[in-house]
Chain A
């Protein structure tokens, strides 16, 4: 199993550009999520999904869109990049059971810089 994969590993954007961060998992997990990690801020949840066709907003969703057309893939779209979106982005997945999630499996991260 490859686990959770993310591409690209690094990205530099100019203000106003758009891009998609890719995330895929091969563990057939229902739950997938996107976090951003900034110094001193811990992990902040952007969006999450509990299955194909179902997505919802997390703590900091503004400026980001997601879709979940398959169980495996959960891309994150930056609509119009801003310097405030400079961060490290992590995708995670996990099994669901009884209304909660089990162990979260994280990807290696995408380091994004917006100039």
Chain B
């Protein structure tokens, strides 16, 4: 079956530090990959996505590249801000013929950014 593995948190950084949150996946088909962000007290919202190998998704200074050879989709940001403090979820949606409609989510990684 499909699975998504994220690094355990919390990740604690100082403002303006470089961020990497690792995400690896297993899938039987040809998945689309997503990063969602959940701010305190809110629902998840899409941060960025990539639909095929070597695609780079980007939004709000965050980037992630779909690496089929390493089955990874690591999230990066060059300079984090206090307002980036949130929980980040990696997810996949498998486009395999006859596959399940259910997207697969990682457990989430909490990011705490200190001034």
State the A residues within 8 Å of B (CB). Answer: 4, 31, 33, 41-43, 45, 48, 50, 58, 90, 92, 94, 96-109
Contacts and interface: CB of A to CB of B under 8 A. Distances in A.
Contact of A99 (B32, B45, B49, B96): B96
Taking chain B's interface residues, is the majority helix, strand, or loop, or is none over half, making it mixed? loop
Interface in B96-113: 96-103, 105-108
B101 A31 contact: yes
Contacts of B42: 108-109
Given A90-B43, A106-B45, A109-B43, A100 B93 contact: yes
Contact of A106 (B41, B43, B49, B100): B43
Chain B interface residue bracket vs A:
20 to 34
B89 interface: yes
Interface of B: 29, 31-32, 34, 36, 41-46, 49, 89, 91, 93-103, 105-108
B43 A42 contact: no
B97 A101 contact: no
Contacts of B98: 99
B95 A58 contact: no
A42 B45 contact: no
